[in-house]
Each structure stands twice: as structure tokens, then as C-alpha cells.
Amino acid sequence: MFKDIVRIKVIAGKGGNGCVSFRREKYVPKGGPDGGDGGKGGDCIIVVNPHLSTLSHITDGQVFKAQNGEDGKGKKMHGADGKDVIIEVPKGTIVIDAETNKVICDTAQVDRFVVARGGKGGLGNWHFRSPTNQAPTYATKGEPGEVKELILDLRIIADVGLVGFPNVGKSSIISKLTRATPKIADYPFTTKEPVLGVIGYKDKRIIIADIPGIIENASKGAGLGLEFLKHIERTKFLILVLEIVNNPINQAKILLKELKKYNKELLKRIRIVVFNKIDLLSSEEEINKEELEKELAKLIKPKPKFFYVSALLGINIDELKEGIIEIMEQGN
């Protein structure tokens, strides 16, 4: 099952205790203090694994516990440090402290981050010898490790997001633009989790996200919309996909309203409007392109580029790809 949010507990290792010990050697009646320090407790570390694309490998409530540091020993022996525990996540995962609701780290920016620090080891009595006290009989205890409840919240990072009603052909488009093979079927909400595809050109990669369809009131939680709208928040630009035969202006109005309610910054990111399923028109004359574009240009500022495609038959898909590359080039 696809998962993009989980709650976990991290327990860093406790530091090992310092040791109280005195040298015992033959013929040396009163050996000095030689208790070693305790080892440091292991850390809990979030690490990005570029091969992961979901959080499905982590169970809700899973506990990640790092090893405790070992106690110090006689003969000034330092206890071993506890082993760290690594929590692998896909890039784009945000780590939130469940208690304070504060973002601890965002893996869009960093690939490795210590989320819970292991405790320091205690000091052995060897440490405390001094001219006035040559036989200290005390050592300090290891410090406890940090313990936290965390929420891991994946927000996919794609360059481009496809936004549209269910069943308009978003997955079909991504399957033609890239080598991604999302499920395509003639019913709404076929896509239940974001699917990423890659357009490669020169030495660059453009990542495109196909997200589940958005319907009216998605921003309030209707359909699958709300939980997936967050995935388009981090895209550089958006492509609005409209079904040409199904009152595209009306579709656009509802989609724009939902985007705006969720985060009005998203509106500014629409750079391309795709009219899909042009093969269903009996003739090109059936639609008035000029009128359509004029209406949409009133709704979307700055004026987007328009493409008339058939994902089913592969019509104008290359042109769309060129258009996407061009916009990415301008942005860089």
C-alpha cells in the first residue's frame, strides 16, 4: 500500500557509565585510579535513499532504537560507542516533531540529519584524579539519549505536475511523455498514488508527477484530492489537463478554484494547458480554439501555452514535450 505519512518513535542510545576502578598490580600496593569513560550512545539518523519513492517500508508506530554506549572499564578502557540507527526515507520527506509540530528537517535540502542524539558517555574516575585527590572513588553516569516522536511526511519533488479531473488522461499523457507505466483505465481515480516519470534531454532530467485526479471540493478533502495536492506544492510548474469534449472552460474554473483554496501560489505556476482527447472531436471545426484560449487566458496569468493532444493516438505529444523542455530551460 502506498504510504506518504507515518509516525515513528526514535530512541537514541544512552551513554555508557564512567567506571570506578583502581590499578591492581603485583607488588604495587596502592594503584592509582584507572576507571575508563563510557562510550557515547548511538544517534538516530534520517538518511535519503534515492531509490525509495514512498514510505511504505516503514510501519506506523515503528520504533527505531540506537544502541547504548558501553560502560567504561578498568585499565582506562573506554567503553565502545553505541551503533547509530539509520532511518531511510525518499527524498522530499519532511521530518516533523510530533509534540511541537515543528519541522526538524526537510530532506529536499539535506540528505542526512541526526534526529535524536545519543547521550554522552560518563567520565571514569581516572578523569578525576588531581593533586588533592589521588584516589577519587566516583565516576559520572552516561547521559540519556534523546527520545522523540516524529512524523515523516513525504512531499514528492517533481519539476512538473499534471493537474486535472479524474479520467481526463493524465496517466496516459505521462506514459507517452516518459517511460513511466502508470495504470490507465476508463474510470475515475485509477491513479491512487503519485507516479513519477522522467523526460531526459541533453544531460538533464525533468521529473513529471502524475497525481490522482482533483475534483470539486478536493481542497476540503473530497475525492483523493487533498492528501495529494501537497505533492504538487513543490513543483516548478504545473500543466492543467482538460478534456476537450467535456466543457473544458468549466473544468478549468473548478480546478483553479480548488488550487486557489489550497494554496493560491499554485495558480501562478500553471504554464501549460493541455486539451486532451482531440481524437474524439468529429472535426477540428467543432471547437473554436481562439475563443477557448481567450477565455483561459482570462483565468490564468501569465498566459499559458496551449497544446491540443491525443494521448491515446500520440498526437502532438512531441510538441508538448518540446514545450515542457522550453519552459524548464527558461526557468534555469
Ligand X SMILES: Nc1nc2c(ncn2[C@@H]2O[C@H](COP(=O)(O)OP(=O)(O)OP(=O)(O)O)[C@@H](O)[C@H]2O)c(=O)[nH]1
Binding site for ligand X (CB under 6 A): 164, 166-172, 184-186, 188-191, 212-213, 276-277, 279-280, 310-312
Nearer to ligand X, 235 or 276 (CB): 276
CB of 224 to ligand X, least distance (A): 9
Whole-angstrom distance, CA of residue 7 vs CA of residue 269:
31
Alpha-helical (H) ranges within the chain are 170-177, 225-232, 248-262, 289-299, 317-331
From the list 58, 54, 50, 119, the residue with the least C-alpha distance to 87 is: 58
Phi, psi of 168 (to 5 degrees): -85, -10
276 binds, among ligand X, Mg ion, none (CB under 5 to 8 A by kind): ligand X
CB of 222 to ligand X, least distance (A): 14
CB of 230 to ligand X, least distance (A): 17
276 binds Mg ion per the rule CB under 5 A: no
Judged by CB under 5 A, which of 190, 217, 219, 263 binds Mg ion?
A: 190
Nearer to Mg ion, 54 or 190 (CB): 190
Whole-angstrom distance, CA of residue 293 vs CA of residue 305:
9
Stretch that binds Mg ion, among 69-77, 80-88, 167-175, 321-329 (CB under 5 A): 167-175
From the list 66, 69, 90, the residue with the least C-alpha distance to 18 is: 69
Q: Across the strands, what pairs with 308?
A: 275
Distance between terminal CA atoms of the chain?
36
From the list 269, 50, 213, 237, the residue with the least C-alpha distance to 159 is: 237
CB of 78 to ligand X, least distance (A): 58
144 binds, among ligand X, Mg ion, none (CB under 5 to 8 A by kind): none
By CB under 5 A, the residues from 278 to 307 that bind Mg ion are none
171 binds Mg ion per the rule CB under 5 A: yes
Stretch that binds Mg ion, among 165-173, 198-206, 220-228, 268-276 (CB under 5 A): 165-173
21 binds Mg ion per the rule CB under 5 A: no
Whole-angstrom distance, CA of residue 282 vs CA of residue 72:
83
